[in-house]
DNA sequence: CGGTAACCTGGGAT
DNA sequence: AATCCCAGGTTAC
């Protein structure tokens, strides 16, 4: 399909700078969308997944997408108007993109009629839903500049990058990838705001999805309120200035633990950057991966893993490979089996990254993303029920004891992926 | 330099 | 019910 995306013109993107306004009345809040029973607010351990990651710019599908109004033209704030994105299921699968660890700020806001996720892009509150035919449509809940918002959304989705073309290349050199790609189409890497991405991953270290999400929600609540969808409040991500007003004490009280000092320290470091912290982060999009990693690593709380996540998910560093325990499993199983059983060390991180890059090329990070998703318990469950891989995927060895079968049932919640929902519309 | 032990917190397993 | 273990790590010996 969309074979054209590949040839789309490449356009440099300008980032939206965080505003320092601390509160805006502009939030006319769009009341809960239709058919969605009032999901309880936050409270409990938010079981909902969300994740990270970001990508490059290059969008410009204007000629494909209809910037025009279009469908159900209901101006009523209650009834959002849905506009097609012109991205098919193979180019964008909501369940394989938003709850897979790239961002913790997008929430599923409709579990019934369609798969629907809601989040914030810049200052725009938007919902995305997967239609019956798999195509994705969007609806802004509160936006002055619809055209600008649309462009921001396409940029955020890395819409100018054609997944089908890219995966064709990966599949050609890797049969295993080809097999997974058939089932997991539309697993896209986002292009998030660098600061937003950085803070989210500072919260992620040695932590679990549920708590990371709560922490990110706390930080988010410091930003301008934009609206409520499906019972959930959405805020613009707070600016660096706003973040600098929070104390380590407050963060600790909010349950950040030792990560509180990481956030404070990083915010301070960024604010001391001559040209501005946001600008400094943005500049990392123009330099090569290693330099970007090195620069990010100077920030407190940012190590190899977090730096790679920020690079891949927000700095257009498509070849960045966030090496965590899961990726380590993948790597030692398929790429460098000779290292299976050994312990992951910082040095081996780059070894793994190199292995991925030499196999998949400059978009290795995107390939890694799919392979990672395939490792998620929810996906494994599907594969198992499918071809009964039973015990062939013996645990390559985890830190502790983990010998209870192929699918470790507890990790599903660590990763926060809803197994059941993930499959219904694949 | 490579290999460990703390580090906050909350939830599930033993 | 008390403990232990672990979570997509980072930092300090």
> Using the CA of A207, which nucleotide's C1' is the nearest one?
C7
Residue A71 CB closer than 7 angstroms to strand B? Answer: no
> Using the CA of A212, which nucleotide's C1' is the nearest one?
C7
On strand C, nucleotides with any atom < 7 Å from a protein CB are 5-11
Residue A405 CB closer than 7 angstroms to strand B? Answer: no
Concerning whether A305 is annotated as a catalytic residue, the answer is: yes
pLDDT at A262: 98
Domain boundaries, given as residue ranges, for chain A: 66-160
Phi, psi angles (nearest 5°) of residue A215: -65, -45
For residue A201, how many other CB atoms are within 10 A of its CB?
28
3-class secondary structure, A115: strand
Q: Which residue is nearest to nucleotide B2 (CA to C1')?
A: A345
> Using the CA of A343, which nucleotide's C1' is the nearest one?
B3
Residues 6+ apart with CB under 8 A from A154: A59, A60, A61, A65, A85, A160
Least confident of A105-109, A124-128, A184-188, A332-336: A332-336
A425 vs A142, more confident: A142
On strand B, nucleotides with any atom < 7 Å from a protein CB are 1-4, 7-14
B2 C1' – A343 CA distance, angstroms?
A: 11
Residues 6+ apart with CB under 8 A from A50: A98, A99, A103, A104, A105, A106, A107, A213, A216, A416
Size of chain A in residues:
426
Residue A78 CB closer than 7 angstroms to strand C? Answer: no
A66-160: which CATH architecture?
2-Layer Sandwich (3.30)
pLDDT greater than 70 at residue A301? yes
Query: What's the CA gap between A97 and A118, in Å, rounded?
Result: 13
Of A141, A130, A151, A137, whose CA–CA distance to A58 is shortest? A151
**pLDDT-based confidence at A381, cuts 50/70/90?**
low
pLDDT at A383: 62
Percent of chain A with pLDDT over 90: 60
Query: What's the CA gap between A21 and A17, in Å, rounded?
Result: 12
Tokens 């938003």: give the residue. Answer: A98
Residue A277: Cβ-neighbour burial (10 angstroms; 0-12, 13-18, 19+): buried
Residues 6+ apart with CB under 8 A from A356: A321, A331, A335, A364, A365, A367, A368
3-class secondary structure, A53: coil
pLDDT at A104: 98
Query: What's the CA gap between A398 and A91, in Å, rounded?
Result: 34
pLDDT greater than 70 at residue A2? no
Q: What is the mean pLDDT of residues A372-378?
A: 83
> Using the CA of A202, which nucleotide's C1' is the nearest one?
C9
Of A381, A337, A376, whose CA–CA distance to A355 is shortest? A337
B9 C1' – A30 CA distance, angstroms?
A: 34
C5 C1' – A258 CA distance, angstroms?
A: 19
B5 C1' – A300 CA distance, angstroms?
A: 19
Q: What is the mean pLDDT of residues A188-198?
A: 98
Residue A49 CB closer than 7 angstroms to strand C? Answer: no
Q: Which residue is nearest to nucleotide B7 (CA to C1')?
A: A258
Inter-CA distances, A229 with A80, A108, A141, A213, A386, Å: 11, 10, 9, 17, 36
Contact A193, A16 (CB under 8 A): yes
Residue A100 CB closer than 7 angstroms to strand C? Answer: yes
Least confident of A1-15, A250-264, A314-328, A403-417: A403-417
Least confident of A65-79, A143-157, A239-253: A65-79
For residue A80, the number of C-alpha atoms closer than 13 Å in the C-beta half-sphere is: 27
Residue A230 CB closer than 7 angstroms to strand C? Answer: no
> Using the CA of A414, which nucleotide's C1' is the nearest one?
C7
Structure tokens at A321: 């490979």
Query: What's the CA gap between A299 and A350, in Å, rounded?
Result: 19
pLDDT greater than 90 at residue A72? no
Query: What's the CA gap between A139 and A409, in Å, rounded?
Result: 36
Query: What's the CA gap between A117 and A115, in Å, rounded?
Result: 7
Residue A259 CB closer than 7 angstroms to strand B? Answer: yes
Least confident of A65-74, A88-97, A212-221: A65-74
CA triple A331-A334-A336, angle to 5 deg: 60
**pLDDT-based confidence at A385, cuts 50/70/90?**
low
Mean residue pLDDT across chain A: 78
Catalytic residue among A305, A359, A397, A414: A305
């Amino acid at each position: 399909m969309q074979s054209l995306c590949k040839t789309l013109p490449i356009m440099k993107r300008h980032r939206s700078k965080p505003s320092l306004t601390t509160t805006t009345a502009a939030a006319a809040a769009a009341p809960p969308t239709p058919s969605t029973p009032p999901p309880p607010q936050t409270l409990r351990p938010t079981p909902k997944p969300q994740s990270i990651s970001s990508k490059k710019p290059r969008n410009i599908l204007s000629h494909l997408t209809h910037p025009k109004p279009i469908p159900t033209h209901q101006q009523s704030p209650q009834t959002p108007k849905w506009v097609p994105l012109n991205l098919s299921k193979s180019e964008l699968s909501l369940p394989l993109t938003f709850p897979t660890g790239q961002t913790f700020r997008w929430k599923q806001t409709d579990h019934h009629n369609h798969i629907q996720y809601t989040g914030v892009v810049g200052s725009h509150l938007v919902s995305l839903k997967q239609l019956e035919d798999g195509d994705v449509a969007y609806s802004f809940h509160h936006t002055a500049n619809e055209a600008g918002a649309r462009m921001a959304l396409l940029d955020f989705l890395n819409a100018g990058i054609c997944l089908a073309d890219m995966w064709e290349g990966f599949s050609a050199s890797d049969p295993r990838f080809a097999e997974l790609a058939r089932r997991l189409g539309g697993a896209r890497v986002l292009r998030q705001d660098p600061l937003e991405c950085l803070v989210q991953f500072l919260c992620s270290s040695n932590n679990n999805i549920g708590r990371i999400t709560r922490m990110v929600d706390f930080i988010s609540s410091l930003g301008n309120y934009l609206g409520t969808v499906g019972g959930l409040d959405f805020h613009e991500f707070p600016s660096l200035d706003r973040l600098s007003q929070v104390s380590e004490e407050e963060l600790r009280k909010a349950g950040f633990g030792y990560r509180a000092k990481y956030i404070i320290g990083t915010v301070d470091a960024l604010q001391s950057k001559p040209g501005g912290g946001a600008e400094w982060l943005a500049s990392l999009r123009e330099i090569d991966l290693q330099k970007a990693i090195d620069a990010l690593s100077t920030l407190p709380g940012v190590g190899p893993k977090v730096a790679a996540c920020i690079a891949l998910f927000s700095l257009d560093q498509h070849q960045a490979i966030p090496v965590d325990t899961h990726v380590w499993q993948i790597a030692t199983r398929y790429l460098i089996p000779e290292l299976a059983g050994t312990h992951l060390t910082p040095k081996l991180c780059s070894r793994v990254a190199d292995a991925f890059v030499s196999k998949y090329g400059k978009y290795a990070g995107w390939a890694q993303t799919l392979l990672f998703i395939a490792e998620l318990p929810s996906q494994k469950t599907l594969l198992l029920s499918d071809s009964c891989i039973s015990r062939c995927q013996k645990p390559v060895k985890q830190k502790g004891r983990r010998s209870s079968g192929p699918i470790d049932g507890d990790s599903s919640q660590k990763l926060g992926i809803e197994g059941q929902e993930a499959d219904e519309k694949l």
